[in-house]
Structure 1
Amino acid sequence: MIRLNINGQDREIDVDPDTPLLWVLRDELGMTGTKYGCGIAACGACTVHLDGMAVRSCQTMASDAEGMSIVTIEGVDGKAAKAVQDAWRELEVPQCGYCQSGQILAATALLAETPKPSDEDIDMAMSGNVCRCATYTRIRAAIHRAAETMEG
């Protein structure tokens, strides 16, 4: 039995400790906002927050997340999350939307750590979050917009 805190709720899940967190979220708990993209932590579609840090859930074992706070796209909240989500809508960032939960969680973690990121900060934080539709320019603009919103 694995004990996880997901979106502020304690859960006991009967899975092998070496089960990737991605599959616990999707298959065991029905939380399908976290997406499977590549399975090797190279695309970012499966990004979640683990104690506030953006991590790839496809390569994070369930046992490694015990005792930590896990936040998914379904549970992300707070000033940075609201600013990011509002900017995403305002600037019409998504096209197909598949990568967007990972993009939003990565951007939220960035702004929580670096409230006024430079382009270089954004590039570093968002590196490895692949957008098949190539909306990178809009993603960067939305992160800057979210930072402005948080500042004012």
Structure 2
Amino acid sequence: MIRLQIATLGAAAAGLLLLSGPALAQEAGRDSSVALTFETGTPTGAVMVALYDSPAAYTGGRPVGQTMLDVAAGETTATFEGLPAGEYAAKAFHDVDGDGEMDANPFGLPTEPYAFSNNAVGNMGPASWERARFTVSGATAQTIRLR
């Protein structure tokens, strides 16, 4: 189960390699923002971040925003701007070796650090939408520990 969910984030990471700067542009009627600051255990590689706006998207759909943080260059905060107020959840992993993929052992379990918004943890798999979701109305910030 965790392999499938993390694989979804890993697949989204392929498109992240071309992104930089704010993940979403400011649009009329969308005045909320999310700033996610990540605590990493090592100053190498990149943190791949995906932000979702519904349970369906979170469990296998497309993120509303995604970005890559260059940890080696000191980037630790992903900012998503121009969001409508609502509920969101984030998934992230630390691509320590910089190969653009989330590494896993032969059993499909992640070998690189990963995390979910609210520092939520899963039970025999990734954190559920219910545990990871948070309400956004205006500027919202979280600090997330990658483990």
Q: Is TM > 0.5 for Structure 1 vs Structure 2?
A: no
Larger Rg: 1
TM-score, with normalisation over the residues of structure 2? 0.26
Q: Structure with the greater relative contact order (CA < 8 A, sep ≥ 6): 1 or 2?
A: 2
Query: Which is strand-richer, 1 or 2?
Result: 2
Query: Which is helix-richer, 1 or 2?
Result: 1
